Each structure stands twice: as C-alpha cells, then as structure tokens.
Amino acid sequence: MRIESGDWGLSLRPDLGASITALTWRGRDVLRPAPDVLDNPLAAGSFPLVPYANRIDGGAFAFQGGDIRLPATPGFEPHALHGVGWRSRWGVLRAHDGAVDLALAVEAGPEWPWAWTASHRLRLSEAGLEMSLTITNEDRAPMPAGLGLHPYFAVEAATRLRLPASKVWLTDTREIPDRLVPASELIDWSAGVAVAEAPFVDHAYADWDGRAALLHDGWRVDMSAAPNARWAQVYAPRGEGFVCVEPVTHRPDAHNAPASEDSGLTGLAPGGALTLFARITASET
C-alpha cells in the first residue's frame, strides 16, 4: 500500500512485518528502497522491533525467578533477535488522511511466553514521517518489554552521519555488549563522519540525545526520537549504500544486564503499555 503527502511518499507492506518499502522526499530516497520482489524485511527500508530490540544472548534470560528460553532467530544463531513483530503479518485498522494504523496480537508461545498486542501508526505530512509504536501486556503476569525502529537510511557518496552520543557498547566475539566506553574508542559521530570512510559498525550508542542527521550533498535528513529512546543502534556496513540508525528503548541483551544497570528494559504489569515515537524530516541545504 502507498500513502502520499506533499513532497513525501511512503510504500508499506503490512503483511511483511509492517515493513516500509520506500520513503521518498522530492523524488529522493530517504530510506533504502526495497527490491521489487521482497520476501525478507531485512531488505526493506524500515520495520518495527517488538517486544524487544536487537539480540538476546543465546535466547536465554531470567525474569522474576523464571528461566526463559527463546528459539534462535534463523541467520542469527544462537541468539534471538528483534522479537517477532518484524516477522509477523500486521492488520490494517485504518488508512486515511496520510496515516496508516496497524495492529498485531500475539498469544503466549515459544517465541515469547507472554501474550501482548502492539499498535503501529505511520503518519505522513508535508513535514515528514511520524512513527509511533506501542506494546501492551495482555498477559496475567508481568513481562519485560522493549521497542525499537529499524530505518535503513539511504547513503550517497558524500553522506555524513551526525549522531551526538558520548558512549558506545563494545561487543564480544558473539556480538553481545561487553563494556561501555567513550564513543571515541570506536567512532564518535557527534561532529559528523563520512559514512563511506567509517569502519564497520554494529553497536549501541548510549547517552544519545535522540537526534541524528544524514548530511547529503545539498540536502539533509533529520531524525528525532522520544526521550525514552536513550540508545541508538548504529549499523554501518561498508559499501552497502545505507546506514541504520535505530532508536531503541533499551540496549542489546538488556534482558541479561546486571540488576544494578539502567539498561532500559521495562517491566510491564498486566495491562501496562510502552510507547516509542520518532520523526523523520528532510530539507534543502
């Protein structure tokens, strides 16, 4: 399905993890366009992360005295990755006035031992794209919860990424966060760094101020996120024509973080809800 508003256009696959397949402004690709034949959200332009973001080490963690074991996500073994929202068919509740409201209901099962529902709104206006994602605990017991959005921003030859964040989680050989260090020990994007010149990055930045900018030749794309998105997962593979800047409400493997750490993971009581909001805009420079 497709919606348009002013200079903006958005194409969407609710049946494939609520994936955005195209986001354009004045004919330019803001997000990486998906191939014409798309069968995997990982090739799309963006998708929602729910009921958690990024990796859970070995798919195992403890919660309120119980041992939880999740199946490994194919291609990311032995870890569980991003929850099931991005691999589910979402229902369309409404589509009007430049907005699409999506919904997902998931029963307790092997992928997640609690029942939950999610809503996802994408609203396009002359100002840009607004995205909101909410999870509600529909179970009788408390559950851990986290949210994220996974935009693949299109990158041109001279594109620079500016992302103010003072710290980054370095990872071990299994791509699980190992220690929190100053961003400069990996790469500090605060002043703007050419994406084409950056090393391979797939790390969570902490103490993020919720703002990021893609500085292209003659134009720019800006993203802002809600205050509860205190981490930004940056995925910058070399030579791929995109960079992911993912606003998330918790750091990777927060389910196994020490109890003393403020990892961002939220405990939702029955009926409790958690919401994440982000906005993408563009302008000439």
Q: What is the per-residue DSSP string for 242-253?
A: EEEEEEESS-TT
- Nearest-5° Cα angle at 133, 166 to 42: 75
What tens digit of pLDDT does each residue of 230-267 get?
999 999 999 999 999 999 999 999 999 999 999 999 99
Q: Tokens for 163, please give them.
A: 């992302």
Predicted local distance difference test score (pLDDT) of residue 63: 96
Mean predicted lDDT score pLDDT of the chain? 97
Residue % of the chain over a pLDDT of 70: 100
User: 2-284: what fold?
Assistant: Beta-galactosidase; Chain A, domain 5 (2.70.98)
Phi then psi dihedrals of residue 197, to 5 deg: -100, -5
Sequence-distant (6+) residues with CB within 8 A of 48 are 17, 18, 85, 86, 118, 120, 133, 147, 148, 149, 150
Contact yes or no for 132/121 (Cβ under 8 A): yes
Contact yes or no for 162/213 (Cβ under 8 A): yes
For the stretch 63-67, contacts whose Cβ atoms lie closer than 8 Å and that sit 24 or more positions apart, written own/partner, are 63/143, 63/144, 63/255, 64/141, 64/142
Between β-strands 201-208 and 99-106, what pairing exists: parallel, antiparallel or unpaired?
Answer: unpaired
Phi then psi dihedrals of residue 40, to 5 deg: -145, 125
Q: Please name the amino acid found at residue 246.
A: E
Predicted local distance difference test score (pLDDT) of residue 282: 98
Residue-range domain boundaries for the chain: 2-284
What tens digit of pLDDT does each residue of 100-155 get?
999 999 999 999 999 999 999 999 999 999 999 999 999 999 999 999 999 999 99
Kindly calculate the radius of gyration of the chain based on its CA atoms and give it in whole angstroms: 18
Distance CA 173, CA 161 (A): 26
- Band of the pLDDT at 61, cuts 50, 70, 90? very high
Predicted local distance difference test score (pLDDT) of residue 97: 87
